[in-house]
Amino acid sequence: MSILKLAPSSEEGAPRSTTAPTTAALLPLAVMLPAVTVMFHDRFGVAASVALVVVSLVLVAAGGALVARTAARADADAIRARRDADVLDALEPLAGARR
């Protein structure tokens, strides 16, 4: 049994999202880089410290973009499902009978 076993999807053929594991992998690195920068600032110098802070900010932005993209995709899927249900209701001879 795997520790990282993904939960089964609600639909059998639905693709599984890789956003959560990717974001979870980015988070420790995004937290570690500023800590390393603060601890070793005297040894690294200004240019390396600035580069580490910029890389950390890029990682945080990438994680935020992944989460935003997943939220947008979920909203689009909900809208598509609602539209499909409306089309099916309109096509049925007894509209609304299945509800």
Higher pLDDT, 23 or 66: 66
Q: How many CA atoms lie within 13 A of 4 on its CB side?
A: 6
Tell me if 49 is assigned to some domain: yes
Q: Among positive and negative, which fits the CA dihedral 40, 42, 43, 47?
A: positive
Tell me if 3 is assigned to some domain: no
pLDDT of residue 14: 53
Q: pLDDT tens across 44-91, in order?
A: 888 888 888 898 889 888 888 888 888 899 899 999 999 999 888 888
Tell me if 65 is assigned to some domain: yes
Number of structural domains, the chain?
1
The model's pTM is 0.59
What is the domain range of residue 34? Answer: 19-91
Tell me if 12 is assigned to some domain: no
